């Protein structure tokens, strides 16, 4: 049952956990308990209003097991495909030409916006490489960030990016170097998308740490991950599925039974790579 909103506006909620699976689960529980009711642009007349909040999720150690929550809507192959889309750009060829009104392909991929950001001047910019170079030169810089939003396109396009920015910084603790990462979404489907978003972006965090390690010759480990969503929501159209599958599992299974280790499915994910690459190559629209 959603409580009455105690503040003037959208509630601001915080969830945290020692690992990805626990933090995502805690965020959904907190959202369901304390989010507000609000309509969306995608509702059908019979749909109840969504549950929504501004949410900050803190994951203390994104590499700690268990990483995988069994109740995210998808399987190992889906998780691998999405991670390859974000981190390797296997679907960048599906992005439309902005100057061609007849081109009906995708407005963007996150990989394309992060690794091949095309502005009005300057050509294609690899923002992830820029983050790594800045951190290698000055680990404590506050300027190591990447953005996705294109003001000249995204305010009026049909499907603008939900992920808005990535910000990184390195700290040294007890002789070890850690790369912390902050991620901001303007809109984030808490149940259907957020787990895969977080998982893939943690893999990107690992990539950046490895780039800095290679550039400096000093090991950089993955540090804490913060995920801020301006609108962290559960659509009313799938309340029944969420309450039956996700909430129902909380009382029937232990946390260990609701989760699994990434290492237990890594071989399945890696084995899926050739098929995923062939599927992506075959996609044209």
In a domain, 237, yes or no: yes
- Which of the residue ranges 201-205, 215-219, 247-251, 252-256 would you say has the lowest mean pLDDT? 247-251
CATH number, residue 227: 3.30.572.10
Average pLDDT, the chain: 94
pLDDT at 2: 53
Give the per-residue SS3 of the chain.
CCCCCCCCCCCEEEEEECCHHHHHHHHHHHHHHHCEEECCCCCCCCCCCEEEEEEEEEECCCCCCCCEECCCCCCHHHHHHHHHHHHCCCCHHHECCCCCCCCCCECCCHHHHHHCEECCCCCEECHHHHHHHHHHHCCCCCCCEEECCCHHHHCCCCCCCCEEEEEEEEEEECCEEEEEEEEEECCEECCCCHHHHHHHHHHHHHHHHHHHHHHHCCCEEEEEEEEEEEEEEECHHHHHHHHHHHHHHHHHCCHHHHEECHHHHHHHHHHCHHHHHHHHHHCCC
In a domain, 143, yes or no: yes
pLDDT at 185: 98
In a domain, 50, yes or no: no
In a domain, 47, yes or no: no
In this prediction, residue 74 has a pLDDT band, given cuts at 50, 70 and 90, of very high
pLDDT at 5: 53
- Which of the residue ranges 37-51, 126-140, 256-270 would you say has the lowest mean pLDDT? 37-51
Full-model pTM: 0.94
Number of domain units in the chain: 1
In this prediction, residue 159 has a pLDDT band, given cuts at 50, 70 and 90, of confident
> For residue 29, what are its two tokens?
């529980």
Domain enclosing residue 239, as ranges: 12-42+62-282
In a domain, 228, yes or no: yes
Better-scored residue on pLDDT, 43 or 171: 171
Q: What is the mean pLDDT of residues 142-168?
A: 94
In a domain, 220, yes or no: yes
Task: Tell me how far apart the alpha carbons of residues 99 and 75 are, in angstroms, rounded to a whole number.
Answer: 37
In a domain, 248, yes or no: yes
pLDDT at 97: 79
Better-scored residue on pLDDT, 130 or 3: 130
- Tens-digit pLDDT profile for residues 13-27: 999 999 999 999 999
In a domain, 24, yes or no: yes
Q: Using the predicted structure, report yes or no on whether residue 1 has a pLDDT greater than 60.
A: no
> For residue 15, what are its two tokens?
């969830």
The pLDDT > 90 percentage for the chain reads 87
């Amino acid at each position: 049952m959603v409580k009455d909103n105690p503040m003037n506006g959208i509630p601001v909620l915080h969830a945290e956990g020692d690992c990805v699976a626990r933090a995502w689960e805690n965020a959904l529980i907190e959202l369901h308990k304390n989010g507000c009711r609000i309509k969306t642009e995608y509702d059908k007349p019979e749909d109840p209003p969504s549950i929504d909040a501004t949410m900050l999720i803190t994951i203390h150690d994104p590499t700690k097991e268990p990483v995988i929550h069994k109740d995210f809507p998808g399987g190992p192959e889906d998780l691998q495909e999405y991670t390859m889309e974000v981190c390797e750009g296997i679907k960048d060829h599906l992005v439309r030409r902005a100057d061609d009104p007849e081109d009906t392909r995708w407005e963007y991929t996150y990989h394309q916006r992060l690794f091949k950001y095309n502005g009005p001047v300057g050509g294609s910019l690899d923002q992830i490489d820029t983050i790594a170079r800045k951190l290698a030169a000055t680990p404590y810089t506050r300027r190591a960030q990447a953005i996705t939003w294109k003001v000249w396109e995204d305010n009026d396009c049909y499907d603008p990016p939900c992920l808005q920015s990535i910000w990184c910084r390195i700290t040294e603790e007890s002789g070890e170097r850690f790369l912390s990462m902050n991620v901001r979404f303007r809109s984030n489907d808490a149940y259907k998308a957020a787990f895969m978003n977080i998982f893939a972006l943690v893999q990107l965090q690992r990539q950046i740490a490895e780039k800095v390690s290679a550039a400096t010759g000093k090991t950089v480990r993955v540090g804490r991950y913060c995920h801020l969503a301006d609108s962290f929501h559960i659509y009313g159209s799938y309340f029944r599925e969420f309450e039956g599958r996700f909430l129902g599992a909380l009382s029937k299974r232990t946390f260990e039974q609701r989760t699994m280790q990434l290492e237990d499915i890594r071989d399945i994910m890696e084995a899926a790579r050739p098929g995923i690459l062939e599927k992506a190559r075959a996609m044209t629209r």
